[in-house]
Copies of this chain bind each other. A is one copy, B any other.
Amino acid sequence: MLHGTCYENLRVLCKSVGHRLSGTPAAAKAVEWGRKAMIDAGADNVWLQPVNVPYWYRGKESLELKIAGKYQKVPALSLGNSQGTGGKTLEAEVVMVNNYDEYKGLPDDAVKGKIVFFNYRFRQDFINSFEGYGDAVNYRWNSPNVAVKRGAAGVIIRSMSTGEDDFPHTGSMHYEDTTAAKLPEMAVGNYTADALAKACKAGKVTAKMTSECKMMGMRPSYNVIGELKGTEVPEKFITVGGHLDSWDVGEGAHDDGAGCAQSIEVIRTLKAIGYKPRYTIRAVLFMNEENGNKGGWAYLDSANARNEQHILAMESDAGGFSPRGIGLEMSEKQKEHIRKYRDLFMPYNVYDFEKEEGGVDISPLHNKKNVPAAGLLPDSQRYFDYHHTANDVFETVNHRELKLGAATMAQFIYLICEHGLE
């Protein structure tokens, strides 16, 4: 809380690099930022691990809605990985459904040639907002696949958003049938969704979608890795990380500049207290979590190729908010072992060791190599206000909350390194 540098590191990332979608020059600049920050933190070794990443290009885009007889431009974002309208304008009537059940109830001719507006609301009654996200996110990920089967022309979705505002939220989608048409998909913010829903109930609404977005193949990039070399068993590893890429709006401050700055802080803290770890501790800034997770897979491939043994992997990718707990994906026996440390975390207001949460970047290691996984659990109330929006900027991060999360991670990594998992 007194000597932490993660807040200042995050400021530099957000303000000198900004957003950094995989494959962009900004992502390359972020790699350089990470490399330098790892060295400054005192890592014994710092290196770049090659990763091939998909490059999605947004280009120009606009959404206009004709409500009460007049077209008006509204804030909107194409969803990541989606194919746009090729720069042409798609004009069609909007048909609204509140969920997939309502959609199924529509006659086919109500869908064909239309732009389907999936007006599914993020459920604010979930106390843990990640449950709300899990509940809603399929409308972003899958709606074009649902819509194309009945001949729709395009898709608009209500953003995966808890925000009392009009920020549209981008995020990844996918086309499941590569032989089918790739429908354009755009997200609107809550206020625009409210207005559009009201207009659709009142009468006929048409929309003009124009977008240039497209996938543009693979590009070379890197995971950034910094190590504190183990003194007793250096060939065994404990990984702590976040992801370095972000969506191409805002500054990727909470998602996931915070997790990167915190992971670097773990190295800095342990080095600053003169800690000599038994095992090698690695901070990893993964590339391409947002639209491919190629960094997580490259890290697994490298671990397999080098025949590395991994004791634990931890991730921070839920925002730089006040920590509440640590999620655990591992055996019950290992969970029970960790829960014995609960009283050591209580003075830091960290109490929740009950949730099953790791992280996307470390999921290949966990799923394919059975490495126990852990995820920092910050307070979730504000995350989906900012997530994947132009408002995910440095100013929304509080320095004490960010540092407290980093301290929690450092403490956890220390305990695992000292006492193992059995």
Residues on A facing B (Cβ under 8 Å): 1-2, 7, 124-125, 127-129, 162, 164, 322, 324, 347-349, 351-352, 379, 381-382, 385, 398-401, 404
> Are A349's CB and B324's CB within 8 A?
yes
Chain B residue nearest in CB terms to A128: B349
Cα A349 to Cα B401 with chains together (Å): 17
Known contacts A2-B124, A125-B2, A127-B348; is-contact A382 B398 (Cβ 8 Å):
yes
> Are A127's CB and B349's CB within 8 A?
yes
Tallying the copies of this chain within the complex gives 2
Which listed residue, B1, B129, B162, touches A125 by the CB 8 Å rule? B1
Which listed residue, B124, B128, B352, B404, touches A381 by the CB 8 Å rule? B404
> Are B324's CB and A400's CB within 8 A?
no
A64 CB → nearest B CB, Å? 29
A2 CB → nearest B CB, Å? 5
User: Residues of B contacting A382 with CB < 8 Å?
Assistant: 398, 400-401
User: Residues of B contacting A398 with CB < 8 Å?
Assistant: 381-382, 385
Chain B residue nearest in CB terms to A8: B164
Chain B residue nearest in CB terms to A127: B348
> Are A124's CB and B379's CB within 8 A?
no
A250 CB → nearest B CB, Å? 17
> Are A351's CB and B348's CB within 8 A?
no
> Are A1's CB and B124's CB within 8 A?
yes
Which listed residue, B2, B127, B322, touches A379 by the CB 8 Å rule? B322
Interface residues of A, dominant DSSP: loop
Which listed residue, B162, B401, B404, touches A400 by the CB 8 Å rule? B162
User: Residues of B contacting A162 with CB < 8 Å?
Assistant: 400
A163 CB → nearest B CB, Å? 9
Cα A210 to Cα B355 with chains together (Å): 57
Cα A2 to Cα B164 with chains together (Å): 12
Cα A164 to Cα B403 with chains together (Å): 13
A248 CB → nearest B CB, Å? 25
A378 CB → nearest B CB, Å? 10
Cα A351 to Cα B346 with chains together (Å): 11
Cα A382 to Cα B351 with chains together (Å): 20
Known contacts A385-B398, A398-B381; is-contact A404 B322 (Cβ 8 Å):
no
Given A128-B349, A385-B398; 9 other pairs, CB 8 A cutoff: A1-B124, A127-B347, A127-B349, A164-B399, A322-B381, A349-B379, A381-B398, A381-B400, A382-B398
Chain B residue nearest in CB terms to A324: B349
Known contacts A127-B347, A347-B127, A400-B124; is-contact A7 B381 (Cβ 8 Å):
no
A135 CB → nearest B CB, Å? 14
Cα A324 to Cα B398 with chains together (Å): 18
A384 CB → nearest B CB, Å? 9
A74 CB → nearest B CB, Å? 22
Chain B residue nearest in CB terms to A325: B349
User: Residues of B contacting A400 with CB < 8 Å?
Assistant: 124, 129, 162, 381-382
A-B pairs, top 9 by smallest CB distance, nearest first, are A381-B400, A1-B124, A381-B401, A1-B125, A322-B379, A164-B399, A322-B381, A382-B398, A2-B125
User: Residues of B contacting A324 with CB < 8 Å?
Assistant: 349
**What would 20 A/B residue contacts be, using CB atoms closer than 8 Å?**
A1-B124, A1-B127, A2-B124, A2-B125, A124-B400, A127-B349, A127-B404, A129-B400, A162-B400, A164-B399, A322-B379, A322-B381, A349-B352, A379-B379, A381-B400, A381-B401, A381-B404, A382-B398, A382-B401, A385-B398
Cα A404 to Cα B128 with chains together (Å): 11
